[in-house]
Amino acid sequence: ESATAFGCLVSDMWLGEFDYVSPEAFHSIFGKRYPAFSKRTQHDAQEFLICVLDDLHEAFKEVRAQLYQERQSPVAGASTRSSSGTSIITQLFEGQLSYGIRCLTCKALSDRPESFTVLSLPIPSTRVCSLQDCLECFFQPDTLTRNNQIHCHWCGGNQDATVKASIIKAPQIIIFHLKRFAWQDKHRRKLSTTVCYPFSDLDLSPYISTSRCNNTEYSLCAVVNHAGDLDYGHYTAFCKHSVTKHWYSFDDAQVTKIPDSAVQADTAYLLFY
């Protein structure tokens, strides 16, 4: 299964016996489960990442449920299931948003929770902006009118409303997807905007609505880059070594140590904090 192949891939990477490690075996097995990714064509790194995380979650959740069953079953062959939908993936990557929806007619407020593993952030500029600008844009209130009206339980009909997102559970590792592929004038194009992102002290407290989140400051640990356009592109990655704290560039079979200054790139597509 793909979870086993992924484990072998990670082991080979950390053993340090090779200059580089090819993920060919993992890709082959993963492609059987997700045929869309088996083709040698362009794919979106964010979509691939979400599928990998979902696949690993399901695999590890099954193991967790099996261990739970073995501990809880008083009789051999008894069937019990863990009610927990958690895994190491959800423990590390899953956060929770709350959408506060206020009816503009009766002012009633309702909350709609939603889990996430990746936050897709709009890019509010065409030239230069900061990650903070993207976060402000994502978390700013929005007005729902016309076809987007809500059905208000208190008013008993469709009404205009405001909606504002906030974080009620911050994950240990938060992943930001910069929405570089956008529609403009009925055409989809790539935004080449320079997005400046901090290497440390990223404070999410302005966007957190509860006091349960103690650690709200994050440090950058990896970047996925996309060079090219809609028709042709190439993905690379920058990763920070957890022990030495040095940054490395991963470009197919080329793995090289890079200075910190090189990590700030105009091609950044996914940010891991």
Average pLDDT of the segment spanning 200-208 = 95
pLDDT tens digits along 78-89: 333 344 589 999
pLDDT tens digits along 125-136: 989 999 999 999
pLDDT at 175 over 80: yes
| pLDDT of 39 | 81
As a whole number of angstroms, the distance between CA 230 and CA 233 comes to 7
Q: What is the mean pLDDT of the chain?
A: 90
| pLDDT of 214 | 66
Q: Which among 86, 35, 80, 81 has a CA at the least distance from the CA of 58?
A: 86
pLDDT at 176 over 50: yes
Q: Is the pTM of this model over 0.75?
A: yes
SS3 state at 260: helix
| pLDDT of 26 | 95
Q: Which among 175, 182, 174 has a CA at the least distance from the CA of 123?
A: 182
Q: What are phi and psi of 10, to 5 degrees?
A: -65, -40
pLDDT at 182 over 90: no
* Structural contact between residues 129 and 196, judged by C-beta atoms closer than 8 angstroms: yes
CB count within 10 Å of CB 255 equals 16
Phi-psi region of 235 (alpha: psi -120 to 50; beta: other; left: phi over 0): beta
* Structural contact between residues 180 and 126, judged by C-beta atoms closer than 8 angstroms: no
* Structural contact between residues 101 and 112, judged by C-beta atoms closer than 8 angstroms: yes
| pLDDT of 84 | 53
221 — pLDDT class (breaks 50, 70, 90): very high
pLDDT tens digits along 7-36: 999 999 989 888 899 999 999 999 999 999
Q: Which residue has the higher pLDDT, 182 or 238?
A: 238
pLDDT at 245 over 90: yes
DSSP-assigned letter for residue 144:
E
Lowest-pLDDT choice from 127-131, 181-185, 202-206, 229-233: 181-185
Average pLDDT of the segment spanning 259-265 = 97
